[in-house]
Amino acid sequence: MAVDLATSEAGAGEPLVILHGLFGSKRNWSSIAGRLAEQRRVITVDMRNHGESPWDDVHDYPTLAADVTRLIERKVGGPVTVMGHSMGGKAAMLLALGRPELVARLVVVDIAPARSQSSPLLLVKAMRRVPLETLSRRAEVDAVLAEVIPDLAVRGFLAQNVVAEPAGLRWSVNLDAIERNGESIVGFPDIPPGTSFAKPTLFIAGGRSEYLRPEHHDAIVRLFPAATIETIANAGHWVHAEAPGPFLDLVSRFLA
């Protein structure tokens, strides 16, 4: 069943809904959203089991798309531009394919309509190792994560999910649901033959990422025949954070 997602809004004009990736939140997009809000109404979203949105045992793409459908129908009522990164990009693609009347344009950031190679379960396991009940600062969380995650950027990204409360630290992401639905998260639903989204679509790949590669282009063109595929050479999976200037240039030109 669809849930009511937590959102933040800025700007006015043509609506743009931004969906974050796994272990992300609407806060991760605040800088990009602020720039884009100079020209349009930007709605950033916490997906279910993340940030300030409700937790639920079910975490698959039909349900994620249903959550966003509910949000668009209640907050906007008409077609919007939808931009999604990684997990949010898969949800955005499924929404556009299933309810094209709600989507005017689509931006998909570093993800393909296919099974992903990287599993979230290793990150879930690393996060579970952190004894939050004995810690008081994010720096201490980073130190524990460093024992199994050498990449400073990945540790910093995960640590953003730590919330400080009077009772102590807690994760703002539902690790149980993510672990239970891991196969659904890395997969992509089977799309009925003949289904496509024919409106303008932009795919943005990170040149150093494995999530969106040339071997995915046939599937993209089949499902999104009006798609343009761009690559930002020096960026990895978090394209918008690693190369915000080139990313904003591509998105702004597409939206214009």
The set of catalytic residues is: 86, 176, 237
| Separation of alpha carbons 111 and 214, rounded Å | 12
Q: Does the CA dihedral 108-113-116-120 come out positive or negative? A: positive
Record the tokens describing residue 101, joined without a space. Answer: 């009347």
Q: Does the CA dihedral 176-179-182-183 come out positive or negative? A: negative
Residue 191 exposure: Cα atoms within 13 Å on the Cβ side:
23
Total Cβ atoms within 10 A of residue 181: 20
Strand order in the sheet with 201-206: 7-10, 41-45, 15-19, 80-85, 103-109, 201-206, 227-232
| Separation of alpha carbons 115 and 187, rounded Å | 4
Q: What is the largest CA-CA distance in the chain?
A: 54
Q: What is the DSSP letter of 238?
A: -
